[in-house]
């Protein structure tokens, strides 16, 4: 865990937020490499949704009418954790994190009480009950509110889906474990509206699709069906997709059958008819919703844990003795596909050629590095998951070819500069 956290900071993936002021509880900033990885994860998810038939996108507001959260059950039903307080040091904990005694001083604990997780704020200049609002706790509520808008404007027919990526907020009692549990995080959620009779079949097919997606990004996952007593308040059925973290297998995505919980409750509270009219059967009904919901930062963290490898003594005979790190991230997600290295930097013809190659390949997300020995540059590239290290050497000036070194096998190949773009397309974008 400490290794990943310090690696994230050292290599520009994740910085503690407000660091110069001593940080701020469980808030993080994504650095130049982190944001590349995060964007690639989001893009790959969005692309996979776009490839499905009948899925449209949405970007709904974070701040909504507070009635939304009354109707969804987040202010009333089960969206609360049990809070206990230490009678000695007065630290507060989620009941399931504290067991019998205070984890900090072993003091006795108070009787648990419910603590609602909605993050409260005020809109407008006056801080009073009437201006109270909430930061959304899940992105999908915006999708339900726009159900009729989307039906009408896009002439959608059931079954269809709406996919959205956006920030959510929860006032977690004990945010912890780095990016795993924070108060501000992003979700990638898809809501599939279907006839109630088809919900069970779609639940299974969406679970299969999501598992295939994880296989495609090289992340080992497993599934756990959540028992009724532990399910989210809206879920008729819930299967968690879990990945391995330094502290064990934990949920990264939930697949939920939400039934008609959301649409029927919003209908009731808003007094708007949110039922679907089936033109063939001439029937009106509340569709069931199958939801897939994954946290971006949790997935990001799981991917780093699974791809971070330390090789003691290094990977090649020429290596220095200390451990070498290789980030074996899937090449679809890596922040940089390739790095361009002139073998030496005191030979203007080689530097010029290297810059020409850099300019040629710029659209593919690459970087240029001429500092340090070639071995050091290889190691820096391996550490951040760069898939190809491309070296421009003395021979390049004669044969217009470069050496490409593969991150995982360390195999080196000579490739003509004129063939590079084609090679990039084949290697990184085989579907295009
Ligand atoms: N709309 C359904 C929903 O929000 P959830 O199981 O509460 O379901 C879905 O959340 C995903 O969001 C989780 O699997 C997790 O990846 C992420 N998530 C939830 N709370 C989080 C937190 N406090 N910090 C980071 N990620 C979180």
Q: What is the domain-level CATH number for residue 144?
A: 3.30.930.10
Instruction: For the chain, list residues with pLDDT below 50.
Output: none
> Tens of pLDDT along 284-335?
999 999 999 999 999 999 999 999 999 987 777 666 667 899 999 999 999 9
Look up residue 404 and give its two tokens. 């490409």
Which of 272, 234, 224, 30 has the alpha carbon at shortest distance from 138?
234
| Pair (44, 90) in one structural domain | no
pLDDT at position 68: 97
pLDDT at position 431: 66
In ligand 1, which atom is closest to the CA atom of 253?
14
Number of domains within the chain: 3
Look up residue 327 and give its two tokens. 């980030």
Which helix (H) or strand (E) is 324 found in, with range? strand 324-327
Q: Does the CB atom of residue 140 touch ligand 1 within 6 A?
A: yes
- Separation CA 286–CA 282 (nearest Å): 14
Structural domain boundaries, residue 388: 336-428
pLDDT at position 323: 85
Does some domain include residue 318? no
> Tens of pLDDT along 328-370?
999 999 999 999 999 999 999 999 999 999 999 999 999 999 9
Q: Which residues, including other chains, have CB under 8 Å from residue 29's CB and lie 6 or more apart?
A: 14, 15, 16, 17
Name the residue at shortest CA distance from atom 20 of ligand 1.
181
Name the residue at shortest CA distance from atom 14 of ligand 1.
253
| Pair (131, 246) in one structural domain | yes
- Separation CA 138–CA 169 (nearest Å): 8
pLDDT at position 321: 61
| Pair (359, 420) in one structural domain | yes
366-368 and 338-342 beta bridge pairing: parallel
| Pair (354, 420) in one structural domain | yes
Q: Does the CB atom of residue 191 touch ligand 1 within 6 A?
A: no
pLDDT at position 319: 62
* Cβ atoms of 10 and 31 closer than 8 Å: no
Locate the DSSP E strands across 152-214. 160-169, 184-194
Does some domain include residue 315? no
In ligand 1, which atom is closest to the CA atom of 234?
2
| Pair (111, 141) in one structural domain | no
| Pair (140, 274) in one structural domain | yes
The residue from 304, 327, 344 where one domain ends is 304
pLDDT at position 317: 60
| Pair (135, 85) in one structural domain | no
The residue from 87, 117, 147 where one domain ends is 117
φ, ψ of residue 416 in degrees (nearest 5):
-65, 140
d(CA 239, ligand 1 centre) in Å: 13
Does some domain include residue 320? no
* Cβ atoms of 375 and 387 closer than 8 Å: no
Exposure on the CB side of residue 263, measured as CA atoms within 13 A:
25
| Pair (108, 190) in one structural domain | no
pLDDT at position 306: 98
Mean pLDDT of the chain: 94
Coil, helix or strand for 359?
A: helix
> Tens of pLDDT along 103-128?
999 999 999 888 899 999 999 888 78
CATH number of the structural domain spanning residue 391? 3.40.50.800
CA 188 distance to own-chain centroid: 7
Q: Does the CB atom of residue 252 touch ligand 1 within 6 A?
A: yes
**Probe residue for ligand 1, chosen from 172, 237, 295 as the CB with the greatest number of ligand atoms within 8 Å:** 295
Which of 371, 432, 380 has the alpha carbon at shortest distance from 405?
380
- Separation CA 243–CA 299 (nearest Å): 8
Which helix (H) or strand (E) is 83 found in, with range? strand 80-85
| Pair (102, 196) in one structural domain | no
d(CA 188, ligand 1 centre) in Å: 10
DSSP 223: E
Tally Cβ neighbours within 10 Å of residue 203. 23
Q: Does the CB atom of residue 297 touch ligand 1 within 6 A?
A: yes
| Pair (154, 63) in one structural domain | yes
pTM of the model: 0.94
Transcribe 385-398 into DSSP letters. T-SEEEEE-HHHHH
């Amino acid at each position: 865990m400490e290794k990943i956290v310090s690696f994230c900071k050292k290599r520009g993936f994740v910085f503690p937020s407000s660091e110069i002021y001593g940080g701020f509880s469980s808030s993080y900033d994504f650095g130049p490499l982190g944001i590349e990885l995060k964007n690639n994860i989001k893009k790959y998810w969005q692309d996979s949704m776009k490839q499905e038939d009948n899925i449209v996108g949405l970007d709904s507001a974070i701040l909504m009418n507070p009635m939304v959260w009354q109707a969804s059950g987040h202010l009333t039903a089960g969206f609360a954790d049990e809070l206990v307080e230490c009678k000695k040091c007065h630290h507060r904990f989620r009941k399931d994190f504290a067991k019998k005694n205070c984890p900090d001083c072993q003091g006795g604990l108070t009787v648990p009480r419910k603590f609602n997780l909605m993050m409260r704020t005020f809109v407008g200049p006056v801080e009073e009950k009437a201006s109270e609002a909430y930061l959304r706790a899940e992105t999908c509520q915006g999708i339900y509110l726009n159900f009729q808008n989307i039906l009408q404007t896009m002439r959608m027919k059931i079954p269809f889906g709406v996919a959205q990526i956006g920030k959510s907020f929860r006032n977690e009692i004990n945010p912890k474990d780095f990016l795993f549990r924070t108060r501000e995080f992003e979700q990638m959620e898809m809501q599939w509206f279907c006839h109630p009779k088809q919900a069970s079949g779609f639940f299974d097919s969406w679970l299969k699709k999501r598992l295939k997606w994880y296989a495609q990004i090289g992340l080992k996952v497993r599934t756990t069906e959540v028992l009724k007593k532990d399910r989210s308040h809206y879920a008729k059925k819930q299967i968690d997709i879990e990945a391995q973290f330094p502290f064990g297998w934990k949920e990264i995505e939930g697949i939920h059958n939400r039934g008609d919980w959301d649409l029927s409750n919003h209908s009731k509270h808003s007094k708007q008819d949110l039922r679907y009219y089936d033109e063939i059967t001439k029937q009106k009904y509340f569709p069931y919703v199958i939801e897939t919901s994954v946290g971006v930062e949790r997935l990001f963290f799981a991917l780093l844990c699974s791809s971070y490898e330390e090789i003691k003594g290094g990977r090649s005979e020429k290596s220095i003795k200390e451990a070498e790190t290789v980030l074996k991230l899937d090449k679809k997600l890596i922040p940089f596909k390739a790095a361009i290295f002139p073998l030496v930097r005191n030979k203007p013809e080689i530097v010029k050629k290297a810059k020409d190659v850099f300019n040629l390949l710029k659209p593919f997300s690459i970087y240029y590095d001429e500092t340090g020995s070639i071995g050091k540059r290889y190691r820096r590239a391996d550490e951040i998951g760069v898939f190809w290290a491309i070296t421009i050497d003395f021979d390049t000036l004669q044969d217009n070819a470069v050496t490409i070194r593969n991150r995982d096998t360390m195999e080196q190949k000579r490739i003509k500069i004129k063939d590079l773009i084609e090679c990039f397309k084949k290697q990184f974008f085989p579907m295009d």
